[in-house]
Amino acid sequence: MILSFFDETFRVSLQDLYYLKRNILSILVTILVTPLLYYVSFCYGLGSNVNDMEGVSYIAFVIPGVVALSTLTSCFSSIANKVLAQRIYYTSFDEIILCPISPSAVIFGKALVGLIKGMLGCAILLIIGLIMTDGLHISLLLIASIALSCMVYSLLGVLVGFLSNSLTTVIMFTSVIIAPMTFLCGTVFTVSSLPVGLQYAVSALPLTYSTECIRASALGWSFPVLSLVVVAVFGVAFFLICYYMLSRGKI
């Protein structure tokens, strides 16, 4: 049962894996440019004027934050665009629906490439981060937090790809929801420095919790298990909506 689920997931993702293999370099460049720019501008540009934050150097504070935001940016838009294109413009998504494969495998199969891309990107970012500062710890918890975040934002990508009916919708969602999320969710400064109203808004967004988990595990702080659970709950919610749409033929 479990085995056949993984097998089906792989079958669904094969198309995207071929694409990934063919374009691996350009994909990596695309997902790494923005976080690397953040590294440069926050660590060297801004960071030289900022004192220690929460007891660690600003560089050590920012790097896990940038890793967290890159789990969102590298997974979400590519998946949302891909699913939308396959659904509306190529109609090749129909071919996947037409196959004897369970809806959950279809959803995870589409999200799998995001997970792979996101993990690759984060690995590179962490390696660069390790060179830049010696305050980072690589642990199993860190890897698990990153993997979970990548999965959740890939699922969000699948969901938005299902919900939208044109490229404009995806672009709008990206600039209205995703872009503010990357800045406000405690990635490059603490949530507590925001106005109170915004703090409430931000606490409804999953990236806040991803950042907490990734930062705590990377800096060796006590791990916020509850935050990890919240991230997972977001993932389950995204999955369930996708599942509902797919199994009811509402896409």
Partner 1 sequence: MLSSGENTPAPYQQLCEEVIRAEKIVVKFGENVAVDHVDVNVKRGEIYGFLGPNGAGKTTTIRVLTTLLHPTSGDVTVNGFKIPSENKKIRRMIGFVQQMISLDKDISVKENIICHGYLQKVPKKDIQIRMERISAVLGLTPFLNYTVIKLSGGWKRKTAIACALMHDPKILFLDEPTAGLDTQSRHMLWDMIRQLNSAGTTIFLTTHYIEEAENLCDRVAILNKGKRVALGSPKELCDKIGRFAVEYDGDNHVRKYRYFSDWDDAKKFVATFGDSDSVLLRRTTLEDVFLEMTGREVTTDFVKVVRI
Q: Contact positions toward partner 1, by CB under 8 A?
A: 1, 4, 11-12, 14-15, 18-19, 22, 86, 90-102, 248-249
Q: What is the phi/psi pair of residue 165, to 5°? A: -120, 5
Q: Between 124 and 251, whose beta carbon lies closer to partner 1?
A: 251
**Cβ proximity to partner 1, 19 vs 200, nearer residue:** 19
SS3 for 94-156, per residue?
A: HHHHCCCCCHHHHHHHHHHHHHHHHHHHHHHHHHHHHHHCCCCCCCHHHHHHHHHHHHHHHHH
Residues in a beta bridge with 53: 56
- The CB-of-133 to partner 1 minimum distance in angstroms stands at 38
Q: Which residues face 51 on adjacent strands? A: none
The answer to whether 161 touches 76, Cβ cutoff 8 Å, is: no
The distance of closest approach from Cβ of residue 237 to partner 1 in the complex, given in angstroms and rounded to an integer, is: 24
Q: State the minimum distance, in angstroms, from the CB of residue 98 to partner 1.
A: 6
CB 122 within 8 A of CB 71: yes
Q: Nearest approach, Cβ of 247 to partner 1 (angstroms)?
A: 9
DSSP label at residue 222:
P
Task: Rank residues 5 and 221 by Cβ distance to partner 1 and give the closer one.
Answer: 5
Q: CB nearer to partner 1: give 10 or 223.
A: 10
Q: How far is the CB of 159 from partner 1 (least distance, A)?
A: 20
